[in-house]
A and B are shown apart, each in its own frame.
Chain A
Amino acid sequence: ETGVTQSPTHLIKTRGQQVTLRCSSQSGHNTVSWYQQALGQGPQFIFQYYREEENGRGNFPPRFSGLQFPNYSSELNVNALELDDSALYLCASSDGWKANVLTFGAGSRLTVL
């Protein structure tokens, strides 16, 4: 059974650029949630995808968007990057949108200069 895998592991962007982060969910999981974790903080919920549709969103602006594909993998896109977007972006998968237990990937570390 494979876990949640994310790519890239690290990347550096400049202010105003766009970034796409990718996530492959754990085998058998059909729901993906994305979290942003600033340094020294707990993860903050961005949004969740179930059956290729957004199924809940946290307090993040529209320039944070996502996709889920038929194989349940997912992308997080961030447009017009700001310095405060520098963080670890975590993807978590679960078996159904009602599942409470999330399996997290190791994250993508984004630095915005």
Chain B
Amino acid sequence: GESVGLHLPTLSVQEGDNSIINCAYSNSASDYFIWYKQESGKGPQFIIDIRSNMDKRQGQRVTVLLNKTVKHLSLQIAATQPGDSAVYFCAENVHGGSQGNLIFGKGTKLSVKP
């Protein structure tokens, strides 16, 4: 069925190290992907997005990679900081679907050790 899932439910990294959060999706019709960060007590916050016609997109300290062959998405965070501690969700939007209908994965909790 259609689903977005994550390989690792928790990830613990040392401050200053790079973090990689992975996500698998199963719907080949998805044409848009977003990473959200959710801190405790807050709503999801947009980090970075990528369209299916791209393989890579970079932001400030973050990079998203898309591998359509194996339906895999990853979020790389460079020089991870304590403020990066949160739950990270990947979400997909199916081509032709309601634009508000993002399909979210379960999330990966990132813990940054000082």
Contacts and interface: CB of A to CB of B under 8 A. Distances in A.
A106 B103 contact: no
B66 to A, nearest CB: 15
Going nearest first, the 3 A-B pairs with the smallest beta carbon separation are: A56-B98, A42-B104, A104-B43
A107 B43 contact: yes
Interface string B100-111: 111111110000
Interface of B: 4, 32, 34, 36, 41-46, 49, 89, 91, 93, 97-107
Interface of A: 4, 31, 33, 35, 40-45, 48, 55-56, 58, 90, 92, 94, 97-107
Contacts of A56: 97-101
A44 B4 CA distance: 12
A94 B98 CA distance: 13
B44 A90 contact: yes
B34 A100 contact: yes
